[in-house]
Structure formats: C-alpha cells, structure tokens
Chain A
Amino acid sequence: MAEVTLKNLTKRWGDFIGVDNQSLEIHDKEFLVLLGPSGCGKTTTMRMIAGLEDPTDGEIRIGDRVVNDDLPRDRDVAMVFQNYGLYPHMTIFDNIAYPLRVRGTPKNEIEPRVRKAAEQVELTEFLHRKPKALSGGQRQRVALARAIVRTPKVFLMDEPLSNLDAKLRVTMRAELKHLSRALKITTIYVTHDQIEAMTLADRVAVMKNGIIQQLGTPDEIYNDPANLFVAGFIGSPAMNLINGSVQDGHFVTTGGTKLVRVAAPDSPSVVLGVRADDMRVAEEGEGDLDVRIYAFENTGEATLLTVQWGKQRVIAKGDRHLRKDQDDIVSVSLDSDHLYLFDPETGDRIKR
C-alpha cells in the first residue's frame, strides 16, 4: 500500500511562490499526471515528494509515514529525470544495477534483476555500453530500467518523454502505459503535454501558477472543465472561446449575433467555450451562421476550418472529405449539448 498524500504543501523562494498550499491524495497503484504549462510548479511538487527540495510548509505522506524529514534514499521512491540523470562513467548494466548495489542487494540477485529490467525495456544488447553511446530513446529506456529494477513504493517521472522526437514519443508513450499497467505501482508523472496526460493518466491534476485547477479523470477534464484555463489547455485544437453575453436564454456575440440557446441566466458578459469537434460545418445557408473561411487546413484525418466570426477567429473541424478554399462561405452550427459558459472575470465555469 503506498498512497501519497500532500497536505497544504507550499514552496516559496523569498516572495516567489512555486507551489501554493496544495493538497492532493494519490491513491495506491494510481497513475496520476501533473499537467500544466512550463513554470507552474510541477517539477517542484515532484522534487518535494522525492525529498530533493524541502517544502516551506505542509506535509507529505507516503503510505502511513510522514516523510518530510526523511532523506531521499529513505523514501523508497524511484525517479526518472527529465534529462535522465544517467551516470556517464558507468556502463548501462552498472547504471541499472546501482540502486540495487547501494541498497545492499545480495550479489547473486543483481545480475538476474538487471537483466529482467533491461528485457522489459528492450535494452539487453546494450548493457556493456556507456550512456554516451546510446540514442536519446535508448537513454530514456535506461532511466526507466533503473527505476523499475527495484520495486519502490512510488515512481516519479519528470517529463520523461519530452526530450524525444515526436514519433518516438508516441511509441514510448504506449510502452510506458503498457509497463505501468503491468507493474501496478503508484506513479506520479509530470508533463506539459496534454495528450500524454490524457492517454496515460488514471487521474489528471491540471496546475497553473502553483495551484491545482482541477483534479479528475481524463474524461472529466476534457468533458467537464472547471474553468477557462483547463478548457483552453486541454484538447487540440484548443477549445474556441468566444466573448459575448446571455440575453433571453440565448448566447449573443459581442457583434450582436444571436447564436444559440443556452441554459443560463441572463448576463452582460460571458465566454462561450466550444470545441472544434462539436461544431457542425455545412454548406452556406444550411446551418446556424454563415461565416467566411480565413484558412482551410487538411490534416489527412480531418479538415480544420479557421473561420472569421465577427472580430474573432474560430476553429471548426470538418469532414475529412470536405474541400473548401480561403474566402469561401460555409455555415456552422453549434451543438447545444456541448457548450460551456465561463465567467470572464473569475474564469469559473457557469453551470446551468
């Protein structure tokens, strides 16, 4: 059993607040992703859990034990660093064996365990090499093997895929997911990549400026964003955010176009959120609103239409067989079941 509990965790450097009074419970065997833009305090949170950074305030529990005063080595965690932190002067074998050696594992157990870990990440041919002689992806696997060679209470991974090229990242993502399902160990995973978060996580904690904005399953985060920040951060292309007001149960754009029924009280100023997926594109005159195409993009699997909507530009996803050109007129309709309203002042979601 190793749940991780953060209670009112705070990290300050002088006046600067890196992590601001955050509480979070990570369940046993859960894969939790800390997601947020660069500089939001993800790494700091993880380093505090690992014991590499002292919290200014608050409590960290691993299992039943408060670990605030424990050294990193006494916390029984394994960490994959963003730049891997491999030992350049040791062979791959020795790199993977190091956590076993320093923890006094009997000599005859070391070799089979290193081989097994290396097999799990498909590294067995490279055991005699030094890290310098490996590619980025292979180094990443070494870092992973070094983490899984023991059975720690918690895995900590800090953007482990961010140094890989796009294609390798997708492959490694799947391998990571497979591995984590097989190992069933509590994992805290830091990333700024929302696709990684969506695909890997049991639950995602979306962070901004040292504060967790929303904690939930990938479905909840995607379908039920708590505020403007989460809505804008999750999803690709990003959710369209349109300024306007609510009058007589309808959303009205700042340009004065009465657009769609919304179940919300009248309000002079709201932000309407709608995903590109949830907009239907039709021929001119056949939908709710005729708009001019600003840019037409064909990604192969779909088409993306950036359309001019009053003073704003909005992205809609069209059928992959749709063919249009810049300055053509199309008609878009909104799906009133998948609209989100936000308060522009606070950013909070306005629930119906």
Chain B
Amino acid sequence: MRDNTLKYLLVLPAVLVVFATAVWPLIESLRLSFTVGRLNRPGSLDQYLGWENFTWAFSQEPAFWNSVWVTTVYTFLTVALTTVLALGLAMLLAPGGRFRSGVQTLLILPFAMSPALIGVSFRFMFNPEFGLFDAFFGVIIPPLADVSWLADPVLAFAVCVMADVWGWIPFLTLVLIGGLASVPQDTIEAAQVDGASGWRVFRDITLPQLAPVLAVVIILKSIFSLKTFDQIFMLTNGGPGTATQTLSHYIYFNGMKYGQIGYAASVAWLMVIPMIFLTYAYAKFVFRKN
C-alpha cells in the first residue's frame, strides 16, 4: 500500500507538467473555438458564440476552402513523391541493393536540418538574382531562365513541394531500408528461381511483404504533411497571395496576425478530424496483432 502511494507521488510531477502543457491548452482551445475570441477585444474570450465560428469557416470564407485545397494537394503530392522516391532509394541502398556504401550516412543530412532552415535555404536557392537552383533550372530548361519562381503561384507551390520532399526522403528511406531488410532474402531468391522477372519479384514478393511498413510510412508522412507550417512560413509565407497557404498557415494568420483567436481555434479543431482518422489507421497498423 505504502509502495503504491509513493509510486503515484513520484509520477505526479510528470502528470502535472503534461496536463499543464498539453491537456489544458487543448481543452482551452476547444473552449475558445466556441467564443468570439478576439485578442484585441477584452472580454470576448469568454463571449460564447455557439457553432458560429465553424459555420463561418464553411460558408463565408473562400480563404478557408483555399487552404483546405492547398493542404490536400500538398499532402497528396508530398506523400506520393516522397514515398515513391524513398522506396526507389531504399531498394538501391538496402543490403544486397546496388549502391550500398557510405552514401547512407550522407543521406541523413537533410533530415537533420530543421524545416524552418530548409525553408530559408530553399528561398535562397530560388532567389532570382543569386539562387543556385534558379540558375541551374535556367540552364537545363531555358524557358525557365527568366521566371521568378517564388512569385509565380504554381511554381512557388512546386518549390514548397520540392523542399518538403527533399527534407523527408532521408527519413522515409531509412525506415524503408529497415523494412526491406526484414523481407526474407530466400523468398526473393525462391521467386527468381521460380521464374519471376525483376519486376514480378518486386510486385509479387517484395511489395506485399513490405506493405505494413509502407502503410505506416504513408500514414505518418500524411500526418506530417497535413501539419506543415514552419517550412512554408519561411519559404513563401503562404504566398504569392494565398497560393501556398496551408491550413496551419491559415490558422496562424487568423489567430496571430488578425487576432481572431476564437476562429483560429475552431479551424484548428476542424483539422483534428482527418488527424483522428490517420492516427487511428496508424495505431491499427502499428499495434495490429502479429
């Protein structure tokens, strides 16, 4: 009995810290999402508004729908590109792959960089006057020589996707190398002897056995893509216009720039819906029985 009391006492500080830094803000933000919640209007933080913030987002805000669309396309593209490229790289770098060497360690470098730093460095690279990529693309694709990348809505979006894919490939590659290493080599060799071509071995043997790892990778990356903020903030700040404004950026803008903290909180809670789906799927894959 005494032992148990001590046990709980020792855990208590940690529980309190988690409550103060995670649970309470969460509850508070949920409460705020039902209030007028203007930072510049005293008392509005307690002014109950019902569901109006939510209906406002759906019915009166093209910018909200724009950010939903941007986030969706951004998530889809970054997840697809990162996964496919990382899988290709993992196949080449995995044990028994073609290019196994010290390259692996180099690969981790982009992942060690903070997203904000990636944003800043890509911004420099695409600078029209002294950007390395800007000059590089200008040379290999001459029609692109005079464009100002970050000023064009489509190209700016492309640069955002590129920066994200570049930053995430290493991590996904490492995870997939681990996944590939767990595919038994003798199943692959058996298929080769059975008469399968390289492509059939990949499709029939490797991919199905890699599927659980691949699913986890895709779900995780989707969660991270949905949340993207710091990189976009440093790279384009949502612009030009709202061409690269993701939901997180939209929330930030409304809450911090316009002071509409109640409205921002309600949009943030809307984002929770896809997150719950993805987290549920993730948990199902990671903790599934054997």
Contacts and interface: CB of A to CB of B under 8 A. Distances in A.
A41 to B, nearest CB: 18
A86 B187 CA distance: 6
Given A73-B196, A102-B196, A85 B189 contact: yes
A177 to B, nearest CB: 23
Interface string B187-212: 10111111111001000110011000
Contacts of B190: 79, 81, 85-87, 146
Contact of A78 (B193, B205, B209): B193
B184 interface: yes
A88 B189 contact: no
Contact of B194 (A71, A83, A102): A102
B290 to A, nearest CB: 9
Contacts of B204: 87, 98, 102
B186 interface: yes
A102 B202 CA distance: 13
Interface in A33-90: 50-52, 71-73, 75, 77-79, 81-89
A99 B204 CA distance: 12
Contacts of B186: 81-85
B183 to A, nearest CB: 10
Nearest to B196: A102
Contacts of B184: 83, 85, 88
Nearest to B183: A88
Nearest to B208: A89
A85 B186 CA distance: 5
B192 A146 contact: no
Contact of B192 (A73, A83, A89): A73
A52 B186 CA distance: 10
Nearest to A83: B186
Contacts of A75: 193
Interface string A234-276: 0000000000000000000000000000000000000000000
A42 to B, nearest CB: 16
Query: Chain B: interface secondary structure?
Result: helix
A21 B186 CA distance: 27
B205 to A, nearest CB: 6
B195 A103 contact: yes
B198 to A, nearest CB: 9
Given A102-B200, A103-B195, A146-B194, A52 B189 contact: yes
Contacts of B208: 89
A88 B195 contact: no
Interface range, A side: 20 to 34
A52 B193 contact: yes
B215 to A, nearest CB: 14
Nearest to B188: A85
Residue of A51, A52, A103 contacting most chain B CB atoms (<10 Å): A52
Given A52-B189, A81-B186, A85-B187, A73 B197 contact: yes
B194 A98 contact: yes
B88 to A, nearest CB: 22
B193 to A, nearest CB: 5
Contacts of A156: 193
A225 to B, nearest CB: 34
Given A88-B209, A89-B209, A98-B204, A73 B194 contact: yes
Contacts of B196: 73, 98, 102
Contacts of B192: 51-52, 71-73
B187 A73 contact: no
A239 to B, nearest CB: 36
Contacts of A82: 186
A48 to B, nearest CB: 13
A312 B268 CA distance: 86
Contact of A73 (B193, B205, B209): B193
A128 to B, nearest CB: 18
A71 B190 CA distance: 13
B187 A99 contact: no
A82 B190 CA distance: 11
The 10 closest A-B pairs by CB, nearest first: A85-B190, A85-B186, A99-B194, A72-B192, A73-B195, A89-B208, A102-B196, A103-B195, A102-B195, A79-B193
Given A73-B192, A146-B194, 16 more contacts: A52-B189, A52-B192, A72-B189, A73-B196, A75-B193, A77-B193, A79-B189, A81-B186, A81-B190, A85-B187, A85-B189, A85-B190, A87-B191, A98-B194, A146-B190, A156-B193
Interface of A: 50-52, 71-73, 75, 77-79, 81-89, 98-99, 102-103, 146, 156
24 contacts: A50-B189, A50-B193, A51-B192, A52-B189, A52-B192, A73-B193, A73-B195, A73-B196, A75-B193, A77-B193, A81-B186, A81-B189, A81-B190, A83-B186, A85-B187, A86-B190, A87-B191, A87-B204, A88-B187, A98-B191, A99-B195, A102-B191, A102-B195, A102-B200
Interface of B: 184, 186-187, 189-197, 200, 204-205, 208-209
